Amino acid sequence: MSAPEASVQVSFKNRAKTALADRTLKIAIDRTTGTAEAKRAVAVAAFPEFQAARARGRAIKDHVIAHLDYYLEQFERNATASGATVHWASDDAEARAIITRICLDAKAKLVTRSKSMLGEEIGLPHALADAGIERVETDLAEHIIQLAGEAPSHIVWPAMHRTREQVAELFKIAHHPPPSADDPATMVQSARRELRAKFLGADIGISGSNFLVADTGATCTVTNEGNAELTTTPPRIHIVTAGIEKIVPTTAHALSLLRLLVRSATGGELTQYTTFHCGPKRPGDADGPEEMHIVLVDNGRTRMLDNEFREMLRCIRCGACMNHCVVYRQIGGHAYGGTYPGPMGSVLTPVLNGLAGSRDLPNACTMNGRCAEVCPVEIPIPTLLRAWRIRSWRERLEPGSLRVGIGIWAVLARRPGLYGLASRVGVRALRLFGKGGWIARLPLAGGWTAHRDLPRPAGRTFMEQYRAQQAHKGSRP
């Protein structure tokens, strides 16, 4: 059972409660998301065309989604013409079977893998282990969580839930020789020593793809460490895994989206390494794989084309929605229980795992709209989360107590006089629970007060205060 699958067995509320009690986790999250938020703000301020670029990015993705079949077929023709083999996987099980078959047919013993959330989505790490194939994660953060036996907690910084001190302890146990100090530079050098032999000795390298370029058949990877290039170049076989929504018409379109991706993800203008792979090694090439396989994965994406979640297919996996989410920044990624955490995960997890087991995720959102404000391709995430809430209500997945409560509220809301009376009584009753201007405990509302205090309300309702103000204005000479 994969880590996301295992965590789904525990309710979101229990996972969130555990995360809220972890002070070290809060420190680790604040260090990374706070820095990411600040760097993005600086990068966007220095890019006057950012809003125009967002509009263009949205238009590119919407065009591709509307003509997905055309561009996928074009990509397959051009990738095949360049010497690559294209495979189609309708779901995660078929994708795992294709990849493990390629590995077993090649008699691979060691596989290196560059960071790929699609690989996590389809359960590839566990599939390789079940096939008896050694897997080595080459991204530094993925190397950390592999040593810890964990799943990624963020799509850009998979190990952001771990502090530098915790990483140092992992390296001291797993690295031979262990790092001589726990400063970042020393620990990075230690990881390089551990991974270098794996890079050079791997039979197969597996990568994801940030973009699939239809008119050339090329795949594009974006990293800051160079691990993707070392993963895809030395091994004899290169396998690419990608969701079908990653397609773009041309290289120029990919570059337009890259301008948005990098600024939104890391606050930079360009990553250290942006590499386009177009087929396997050709005669005369100094290096490169002898075989290249591209596995295009659906896994629910075509279903999204025909429903209210279609706009989520615009996502370019930058992680900005997580960095600015007030919920994610309190509980981290593992509390969400799926492959994709944060606001985008709250939309995607019900698609991948079913709404019945993940209905708490759309309901966890505060609907403050920050995720939509920072999304580089203008995905209306709060609207999509509301759509899941509506589905949950219509499918009667909400608990009976909630349905009864909403029913009582509806009775009051249809009767303004009764609603006003209840509001006046409620406001005055709430003041009885306030001390020092705050409410720390509230009967029947423990979910609100368990981890935060509520401001003590004024002694009168809004309408009472408004009428008093208007009366005061009218009494002025």
275-295 pLDDT, tens digit each: 999 999 999 999 999 999 999
Which of 14-18, 19-23, 271-275, 444-448 shows the lowest per-residue confidence on average (mean pLDDT)? 444-448
Would you report the helix, strand and coil content of the chain in percent, each value rounded to 5? 55, 10, 35
Quick one: pLDDT at residue 24?
92
Quick one: pLDDT at residue 445?
76
pLDDT tens across 395-435, in order?
A: 999 989 889 989 999 999 999 999 999 999 988 888 888 87
Position 43 pLDDT exceeds 70: yes
DSSP-H helix ranges across 134-222: 140-148, 164-174, 184-201
- The Cα 368–Cα 325 span in angstroms is 9
Quick one: pLDDT at residue 233?
93
Position 8 pLDDT exceeds 50: no
Quick one: pLDDT at residue 441?
84
First to last CA, the chain: 76
Quick one: pLDDT at residue 253?
98
Position 328 pLDDT exceeds 50: yes
Quick one: pLDDT at residue 476?
67
In 124-255, beta strands by DSSP E = 134-137, 204-207, 211-213, 218-223, 237-243, 247-248
- Residues whose CB falls within 8 Å of the CB of residue 451, separated by 6 or more in sequence, listed in order: 20, 330
In 81-123, beta strands by DSSP E = 85-89, 110-113
The owner of tokens 């606050």 is: 267
The H or E element that residue 439 is part of is: strand 438-439
Quick one: pLDDT at residue 418?
93
Position 312 pLDDT exceeds 60: yes
Closest CA to 288 of 242, 240, 241, 229: 229
The owner of tokens 């250290």 is: 272
Quick one: pLDDT at residue 294?
98
Three-class SS of residue 52?
helix
What counts of helices (H) and strands (E) characterise the chain?
A: 24, 13
The number of CA neighbours under 13 Å toward the Cβ of 51 is 3
Q: What Rg value do the Cα atoms of the chain yield, rounded?
A: 25
- The Cα 287–Cα 368 span in angstroms is 50
Position 2 pLDDT exceeds 80: no
pLDDT tens across 144-162, in order?
A: 999 999 999 999 999 999 9
Position 16 pLDDT exceeds 70: yes
What is the token pair recorded at 73? 């077929």
Position 29 pLDDT exceeds 50: yes
- Residues whose CB falls within 8 Å of the CB of residue 44, separated by 6 or more in sequence, listed in order: 50, 263
CA trace torsion 222, 226, 231, 234 (10° rounding): 130
Quick one: pLDDT at residue 433?
85
Mean pLDDT across 164-188: 93
Quick one: pLDDT at residue 477?
64
What is the token pair recorded at 261? 């991706």
- The rounded mean pLDDT for the chain is 93
pLDDT tens across 195-237, in order?
A: 999 999 999 999 999 999 999 999 999 998 889 999 999 999 9
- The Cα 76–Cα 61 span in angstroms is 19
Three-class SS of residue 237?
strand
pLDDT tens across 107-134, in order?
A: 999 999 999 999 999 999 999 999 999 9
Quick one: pLDDT at residue 1?
39
Which band of pLDDT confidence, cut at 50, 70 and 90, is reported for residue 3?
Answer: very low
